[in-house]
Amino acid sequence: MGATRIVFGEAWSLSIEEWFYFVTPLSIFVSINVLKQKPTKALLISALAIIVIIPIYRYLKLASMENYTSELFDNYFRKQVFTRFDSLMYGIVAAYLATFHLSNWKKFMKVKFWIGLFLLIASKYVYELDSLPLYVSPTFQFCTESLGVFLMLPFLSSIKNGKGVFYKAITYISLTSYSAYLIHRSIVQFLIINQLPIIDMFGVSIGLKSTISYFYTGY
């Protein structure tokens, strides 16, 4: 795993996706054959169970760690397969509601969108506050972010097509963002951006480097 992070650092999230494809069918199978649930209910039960269990696991993992500091958050929580597994399950619940409870899914779309956007923005800043108890960010940050996206989906999924610069930009980013993600760190940032003379000449910060690499890759 160490070599993977150096050569292809983006692969940590791909690992979560691959385990998701493997574990989710197994959990649904258990719900159907052991708990005797119908397939649709088994799907929902499996997703909700993981959404509840994983934050508890994150809290217990944190409680078992000695000398935990916020600097360890990235490697021990953000980039671990099991600690991020609940994030994908919000998508399962969203798909279930959009398929089997469409009328409720569409209710108050714009209100839910703005609430979700607020949660996403707030989570970026609130969880970085030094005044928060140490356990809050590892336990709840991913829940807040995932819930924010979940609430935005009813409105965003209702936009099928449109005209103008805004819609063209959304379409372009949607078509290219995943490809850009796969190369933005290993190739663009390390092999291109970091080699530019301006980086060392003016002491560009890591935040600005990331911004430059983002727009360089996207455009």
Q: Which residues of 150-160 are buried (b: 16+ CB within 10 A; e: fewer)?
A: bbbbbbeeeee
Q: Are residues 166 and 146 in the same domain?
A: no
Q: Per residue, what are the HEC states of 115-182?
A: HHHHHHHHHHHHCCCCCCCCCHHHHHHHHHHHHHHHHHHHHHHCCCCCCCHHHHHHHHHHHHHHHHHH
Q: Are residues 106 and 72 in the same domain?
A: yes
In whole angstroms, what separates CA 101 from the centre of its chain? 24
Average pLDDT over residues 196-217: 55
Average pLDDT over residues 12-24: 86
Rounded to the nearest integer, the mean pLDDT of the chain is 82
Instruction: Give the pTM.
Output: 0.76
Q: 186: domain range?
A: 161-219
Q: Which residues of 116-142 are buried (b: 16+ CB within 10 A; e: fewer)?
A: beebbeebeeebeeeeeeeeebbbbbb
pLDDT digits (tens, 9 = 90+) for 62-109: 999 988 888 888 888 988 889 999 999 999 999 999 999 999 999 999
Give start and end residues of each alpha helix (H) in 66-108: 73, 85-100, 102-106
pLDDT at 124 over 80: yes
Average pLDDT over residues 134-150: 93
Average pLDDT over residues 165-186: 76
Out of 109, 124, 157, pick the residue that ends a domain: 157
Average pLDDT over residues 125-148: 89
Out of 116, 132, 157, pick the residue that ends a domain: 157
Q: What is the pLDDT of residue 1?
A: 42
